[in-house]
Amino acid sequence: MADISANFLGIKSPNPYWLASAPPTDKKYNVLRAFEAGWGGVVWKTLGSQVKNVSSRYSAVNFNNTRVMGFNNIELISDRPLDINLKEIEECVRLFPDRAMIVSLMADNSREKWHELIKQVEDTGAHGLELNFGCPHGMTERGMGATVGQDPAIAKMVVEWVMEAAHIPVITKLTPNVHSVVPTGKACVEGGTSALSLINTIQSVTGIDLDTFVPNPYVAGKSVFGGYCGPAVKPIALKMLATISQDETTRKVPISGIGGISTWKDAAEFMLLGATTVQVCTAAMKYGFRIIEDMCDGLNNWMDEKGFKTIDDFVGKSVSTLTHWEDLDINYHHVANINQDKCIHCGLCYIACEDASHQSISLTYGKPYNTYAIKEEECVGCNLCQLICPVEDCITMVVQRKGDDYLNWKEFQERGLPLNDH
C-alpha cells in the first residue's frame, strides 16, 4: 500500500484531498461530516466582514444526460457571524487534530483589518490561511476578491500585510479571470506567500431561460455574472496550474490544485502538474462527501501499480513534458487504424473526417452496415476519429515516423524542407 498522506508546508493530512472553501465548509456540521467521511482537510469558507446573501445562488450547465457538468454560483463569503465561525473552527480542530484546517480569509481593504482577522483565526488553532484573491462576483464590486487578484501590485501589498502578522503558513488563492495567472502568482511569492492555490472560479453566464429570457440563476427577474467551476473547467485549471509550475519564481512554493476535480484520476493529473494537495468542491456538492472513499482508494491502487511509494514520487512529474510548440518533433507522425472486428459501423468517424477534417476515411456501402477504412496516405493523424469513436480501442493511432531523427520547426525551416502542396 502506497502512502497517500500529504505534508503541505508542515500541514499534514492523511490524504491530499481538502474540501475547497465553499458552502460544504461553512460550518461545523458539514466539516465534521466531511472528516468522518475521510476527507484529509478543509479550507473553511471565507471569513471577513459579515455579508448577506440572496436566495437563488447556483446554476449549472448540463450536457446530454450529465447534470452539472459545469456549476456556477453567486454566493458571497460566509454570511454567518465571525465569532460563531471561529468557535466552530476551534472545535473541529480539537475533534480531528490529524486533519488539515485551513481558513480562507477576505478582510476589508486595510492592513489593520487583515491583521485583526489573522490574529482571531490563529487563536482557533487552525493550521494555515488561504487568501481569497479570486472570488469573481459580488465581493469584486466592493474592491475585494478578484479585484485584488487581478492587480499584481495590490495582491503583493496585501500579501505583505498578511505576512507581517501570520505565524502559520499562508496560501494565496489565484483568480483565473486574468490573461495569465503568473504575474499575480509571482507578485504574491515575492510578497512572501508560503504557497499558492488555483484556480478560483471563472466568471460566467451559464445560460438563459428561453421562456423568461433571464439568465440563470434567476433572482427576481435579474441575474449577475457568477463563478464557474466543476468538471467543465478542469482543462483550464490544469493549464493555469502548469504555468505556475513552470515559472521559475512561482514553482518555488507548493501548490494546492483546484478546478473540477471529481475523481482520483483528476487529482493525479493535478499532482502530476505540480499540485501537492488538491481541493474539491463541486463533486462533493453534487454527490456528498462519500466520494472521498474512491478518491483515496483509486489513487492508492494507481500509485501501487506505478510503483510510487509517496505522493512526492510523482508530484510535478509531467511538468517538463509541456513544451513550446516550436520544440515539438515534426518527424513524429501517426495515422489512424480502424479495427474492423470492433467496428460497429456507426459512421461517426467517417462523417467527422469527411466534413471537418481531411477526408481520410473511405465508405463502402452496405445494407444496413457500411464499411469504413482509413486512407493512410491522406490521414494527418489529427486524432479526431479516435476521439469520436464510441468503441474503446476500435480506432488506434499507429506511429509511422516521417524520419528517425528529432526535427523541430526551426530546423525544418533551416533545412528548407517542403511544406504541404495541397
Partner 1 sequence: MSISNNRLPAEEFEKNFSDIHPPFETKEAALVEANRCLFCYDAPCTKSCPTGINVPKFIKQITTDNIKGSATTIFLSNIFGGGCSRVCPVEKLCEGACVFNLMHEQPIAIAKLQRYSTEDAIEDKWKLFERKPSTGKKVAVVGAGPAGLSCAHVLSREGIDITVFEKESKGGGLMTYGIAAYKVTPEFCNDEVDFITSLGGIEIKYNHELGKDISLEQLQQQYDAVFLGIGVGLANQLNIPGEDLAGVEDAIDFIYHIRDKGYSNVPVGDRVIVIGMGMTAIDAATQAKRLGAKEVTMVYRRSESEKGCTQVELDIARLDGCKIVWLAAPKEIVGNDGKLTALVCDVMKLGAPDYSGKPAPIPTGDTITIEADMVIKATGQKPFEDLVSYYGLENKKGKILSKENHATNLSKIFAGGDCVNGGKEVVDAVQAGKEAAAAIIQHLTPAFSKGEGAEQNAMSVITASTVDRDSSPLSFGEGQG
What are the residues whose beta carbons fall under 8 Å from the beta carbon of 409, sequence distance 6 or more?
Answer: 325, 326, 328, 330
Contact letters (x/-) for partner 1, 390-409, by CB under 8 A? Answer: xx------------------
Query: Which one is catalytic: 135, 229, 281, 379?
Result: 135
Q: Round to whole Å and give the CA distance between 267 and 55.
A: 32
Q: Is 135 a catalytic residue?
A: yes
Q: How far is the CB of 212 from partner 1 (least distance, A)?
A: 15
Nearest by Cα to 16 from 238, 314, 236, 252? 314
Q: Round to whole Å and give the CA distance between 338 and 32.
A: 52
Q: Round to whole Å and give the CA distance between 336 and 131.
A: 48
| Residue closer to partner 1, measured from CB, 52 or 367 | 367
How many chain residues touch partner 1 (CB under 8 A)? 16
Q: Which of 54, 82, 165, 351 binds partner 1 (CB under 8 A)?
A: 351
Residues 217-225: contacts with CB under 8 Å, at least 24 apart:
217/56, 217/57, 217/58, 217/59, 217/72, 217/74, 218/56, 219/54, 219/55, 219/56, 219/74, 223/74, 224/74, 224/137, 224/138, 225/74, 225/136, 225/137
Length of the chain equals 422
Residues numbered 373-392 forming contacts with partner 1, rule: CB under 8 A = 390-391
Q: How far is the CB of 385 from partner 1 (least distance, A)?
A: 12
Considering just the CA atoms, what is the radius of gyration of the chain in Å?
24
| Residue closer to partner 1, measured from CB, 61 or 92 | 61
Residues numbered 50-89 forming contacts with partner 1, rule: CB under 8 A = 64-65
- Residue 307 as a binder of partner 1 (CB under 8 A): the answer is no
Q: How far is the CB of 318 from partner 1 (least distance, A)?
A: 32
Q: Which stretch binds partner 1 (CB under 8 A): 234-242, 255-263, 305-313, 366-374?
A: 366-374
Asked if 347 and 373 touch (Cβ cutoff 8 Å), the reply is: no
213 burial (CB, 10 Å; 0-12 / 13-18 / 19+) is: exposed
Asked if 215 and 205 touch (Cβ cutoff 8 Å), the reply is: yes
Q: How far is the CB of 62 from partner 1 (least distance, A)?
A: 10
305 burial (CB, 10 Å; 0-12 / 13-18 / 19+) is: exposed
Neighbours of 34 (CB within 10 A): 25
Residues numbered 133-152 forming contacts with partner 1, rule: CB under 8 A = none
Q: How far is the CB of 349 from partner 1 (least distance, A)?
A: 9
DSSP letters, 363-378, are: EE--SS--EEEE-TTT
Contact letters (x/-) for partner 1, 309-348, by CB under 8 A? Answer: -----------------------------------xxxxx
Q: Which of 350, 360, 384, 395 binds partner 1 (CB under 8 A)?
A: 350
Q: How far is the CB of 342 from partner 1 (least distance, A)?
A: 9
Q: Which of 167, 367, 415, 422 binds partner 1 (CB under 8 A)?
A: 367
Q: Which stretch binds partner 1 (CB under 8 A): 133-141, 257-265, 364-372, 400-408?
A: 364-372
| Residue closer to partner 1, measured from CB, 96 or 350 | 350
Grid coordinates representing 89?
473552527
Q: Which residues bind partner 1 (CB under 8 A)?
A: 64-65, 344-348, 350-351, 363, 367-370, 390-391
Question: Could you list the active site residues?
Answer: 135
